[in-house]
Every structure is written in C-alpha cells, then in structure tokens.
Structure 1
Amino acid sequence: MEIDWAWFMNYMQGMVKPVLALVLVLLAVILSYMQRLGLGTEMLYSIFRAFLQLTIIGFVLEFIFNQNNAVWILFAYLFMVCVAGYTAGQRAKHVPRGMYIAGVSILAGTAVTMFLLVILNVFEFTPRYIIPVAGMIVGNAMTVTGVTMKRLRDDIKIQTNLVETALALGATPRQATIQQVRRALVISLSPVLDNAKTVGLISLPGAMTGLIMGGASPLEAIQLQIVVMNMLVGASTFSSIMSTYLCWPTFFTKAYQLESKVFTSD
C-alpha cells in the first residue's frame, strides 16, 4: 500500500492549529490547580480522549465518504445509536433496562426524523449529508432521553405516597404518574426549546458557524440551521415521549403496584 505523502503532510500541517489550541486547556488545568478543584488530570484525559476519538472518526468518515455505500451509512448510524443508548442509560442507571429503553427510544425518534428528511428530499441519502446530520440528531436525542428517564424515576420516587394513593383509588399506572411524566418531559425539552428561541441572538450554532467559516453565504447557512433546529425539536420530542411509554412497565408490577426495588436504590 503506497502512502500519499502529499496528503499526509497536508494533514500534519492542518493539525498545527489544534495543537496550539491546547494552550487554552493548559490554562484551564493551571486554574484548576490554583483553585484546588482536582480536575486537572480529568481535563487532560478528556482532551486526550477527544483528540484520539476525533482523529479516528476522521479517518473512518474519510473511508465511508469514499465508499458512498448505503450499508456503511446504516452501520455508522446504528453505531451512534448504540453509543447514545448506552450513555443515556448510564444517566438513568436506576431505570430497569435503561440502556435498552434509551436505545430504542433514540432509534425510533431519530429514524422517523431521518426518514422524513430523506423522503421530503431535504437531504440526499449520501454519507456526506446523512452521517453528520444523524450525529446531531442522535446526540441531542440522547441528552433529552437520558434526562427524561432520570427525572421521571426521581419524581415518582419523591412522590411515592401520592402515586400509591392514586393506584389504591383505582387509577392505572398511566393515570397515577401522568403529572410526573409531563413534568419530566417539560424539564428535559425546555433546553431544546430555549435554544430554538435564542438561536442566532446569543450564539451561532455549529452547523451555521461551520458553513460560514467554510465560505458559505450567511443566508445559505441559516437555511440549513433552520432545518437543523426543526429536526432536533422533532427527534427530541419523539424520543423523550417514547422513553416514558417504555419506562412505565418497568416501574410497576403486573398487579399495578410500584416496583419497590426500582425506587429504593440510589
């Protein structure tokens, strides 16, 4: 296999700026040390891990883009969903089968969103479009789903007496916990909606910034960003609501009683 030295030298030259930006991390480490936060080692580890992961994924995406094969698109998408499901499940670790619930919820919400975007011809079904878009959708759905599941379980635990009273009076699990579900959904979706309300006023999001820095017209950049905000809101809402429906059976016994072991562990 012959090495393309010209490409390699261009790549190494391009890494000069990222390496120089490490000065900011070193500054953060020094500040952490001065304040005795004990975060210096974790900061260095996090940055090293991010650097390694991004470098690897850069080569992987370069390979997938050159293949232009639908199988590789699906493989990359499912890999993202699996990692997102695991991460969201870790956040809601006290929810039984939390990783599977999170994974299925994220898969459902993002798959519907991606399907509609392709069917409506908003994006072409090519690696260069689908993989970055899928990454944004899955990442956002992961955060919202994890918060929803954790918040729902914690709220039910805090208001156990209220839920058990409703069940004793003949309410179904859904009726007994509907207020907790609504509260969990409102709290988890609020950051997404707040971001949509202030986009462009407080910050320029990543997709829009990337296009502008790449030389695109600001008017072209906002067209893409509007699409991105729409799909983030849609996928996050679908995934978070889906997770609440899947959580219900794990919180109750077949006799419509709270599953005590779920709410006694911390």
Structure 2
Amino acid sequence: MLDILSELLPRLPGILGALTLVSLAIGISYWQKIGLEKSMSVAVVRAFVQLIAIGYALQLIFDSDNPLWIGVIVGVMLTVAGLTSGKRAESIPKARTIALLSISTSLALTLGTLLALNVFEPTPQSVIPIAGMIIGNAMTATSLSMARLRDDLKSSRSAIESALALGAPSRVAAQVQLRTALATGMTPLVDSTKTVGLIALPGAMTGMILAGSPPMEAVQLQIVVMFMLVGAAAFASMIATFLTYRQFFTKTHQLKL
C-alpha cells in the first residue's frame, strides 16, 4: 500500500487537475437539474479505486511472471463481461450464458490466432491488455446484437408468423432481423475503424506515443489492434445473434415471445 501511495504522490497534481473537469461536469448537472451528480461522483470514485486496484494487481502479476495469473485475470474479465452483457438483455432466455459463450469464443478465436501467428508474445504484459481490449469490444458487440434481435423480433412478430404460416423455416422467416442484428453489433467498430487517425488517435497508439515510442512503431501496433478488434466484434456478433435467435423459436419453427 505504501508503494502505491509513493507512486501516486508525484502524479497527484495531475489527477487533481483532471478532477476539476469532473467537478465542472457535476456542477453543470446540478445547475441544469439533470440529476446525475450522485451517479457521476460514484462513477469517478469507482473508476479511481478500480484502476488503482488493477494497476497494483498487474504490477504483482508482472513481477511474479507466473502464467497461471493470466488465466485468473482473463477469467475474471470474461465473467464480468458476460454478466454485464447478459444483464442488458435480461428478457432473453439464457442471456448471460449466451453472452459469456459469445465473448469467450470471440476471445479464443481472436487471441488464439494472434498468438499462433506469433504477433504477440504469450506473456502477461501482452496477453492481459490485449485480452481486455478484445473482451471489451466483444461485450459491446454482443449486447448490441442481442438487444437489437430481441426488439426486431418483437416488432416484426406478425410478419414473421405470416412467413412461418406459409411454410418458411424460422431462419428464413427471420433473416432480415438476423442480418440487422449482426450489422448492429459490428457497425460501431467498423465506423471507428474508418475514421481512425482522422478524428482522434486511438488508445494503443496514444499510449505508446505518450510512453515515448516512435510514431511509426505505435502505428504498426494500432493497425494490428484495430484489425483484431474488427474480427472480435464480427465473431461475437455472429455467435450472439444465432444463439439468441434459437431462444425465440421452437424446434418445430414456431415463434415464442
């Protein structure tokens, strides 16, 4: 704990300076009667505590260099992501299981490919941050796809049931909704990939430049990261969409809502 405090003290002025911006945001919320003062305050405190805790934990893991810790940290991240994504789609049967399977499979396929091609070294310093980025983006894609499919199936119930009554299998009857859900999960990352470097410098690149790395080295890493995240979002959206779709149709191709 003393080590953490000693490392924080030199950076305290910068943290306090950034905190003034949060205070202004809270002030605006109070002034305009938005009612987000408590939520913002709790969010800031939670973010501070969580980041300090994960920073300390990562330092211990990197110092120990024990590969077992990779599994522990990644397992915790997957569990939290699955629960969070599933909670956003609570009305879907087995939502948390679907979310966890989608995110886990996306992580395994994406990270496994990168490690197999020797793009990253299988060390805690490489695997944990990369896994975190994959899981975070896969979680978002999963949540969006599941929620969109649920909503579209409900709003298109009459059209789908009419198609089923005419003999169409469930996958054909709901193909428009399936495609829309897939696109919904992938679109945010595709859009950000189109504008990367034009509107804002992405996280991995910014971090490396701030750490003193040459810009071209940072660019090379960011290209790998962006391509990796597009693949992760595609895998997660596809798996989540088709697993969710199965929850709304019986084996005899009847819609159940």
Letter in 2 for 1:72: W
Unaligned runs of 5+ in 2: none
RMSD: 1.4
1:8: how far off?
Answer: 4.4
> What corresponds to 1:214 in structure 2?
211
> What corresponds to 2:41 in structure 1?
44
CA distance in 2, matches of 1:244, 1:10: 45
CA distance in 1, matches of 2:154, 2:134: 30
Asked if 1 retains the 8 angstrom alpha-carbon contact of 2:149 and 2:245, the reply is no
Letter in 2 for 1:204: L
Unaligned runs of 5+ in 1: 261-266
1:109: how far off?
Answer: 0.8
CA distance in 2, matches of 1:190, 1:245: 17
Letter in 1 for 2:131: A
Structure 1 residue corresponding to 2:59, chosen from 34, 37, 62 = 62
Alignment length (residue pairs):
257
2:152 maps to 1:152? no
Most deviating of 100-109 and 245-254: 245-254
Aligned to 2:190, the other structure's residue is in SS state helix
Asked if 2 retains the 8 angstrom alpha-carbon contact of 1:173 and 1:248, the reply is no
CA distance in 2, matches of 1:45, 1:173: 45
> What corresponds to 2:86 in structure 1?
89
Asked if 1 retains the 8 angstrom alpha-carbon contact of 2:102 and 2:236, the reply is yes
Q: How does 1:110-189 map to 2 (within 5 A)?
A: 110-189=107-186
Normalising by structure 2, what TM-score? 0.96
Aligned to 2:174, the other structure's residue is in SS state helix
Letter in 2 for 1:30: G
Q: Deviations over 1:175-223 (max 9, x none)?
A: 1111101011112211111111100000001110000011011101000
1:41: how far off?
Answer: 0.9
CA distance in 2, matches of 1:197, 1:146: 22
Most deviating of 167-176 and 110-119: 167-176
Letter in 2 for 1:150: A
The percent of aligned pairs where both chains have the same amino acid is 47
CA distance in 1, matches of 2:140, 2:2: 40
CA distance in 2, matches of 1:59, 1:200: 31
Asked if 2 retains the 8 angstrom alpha-carbon contact of 1:149 and 1:243, the reply is yes
CA distance in 2, matches of 1:256, 1:4: 62
Normalising by structure 1, what TM-score? 0.93
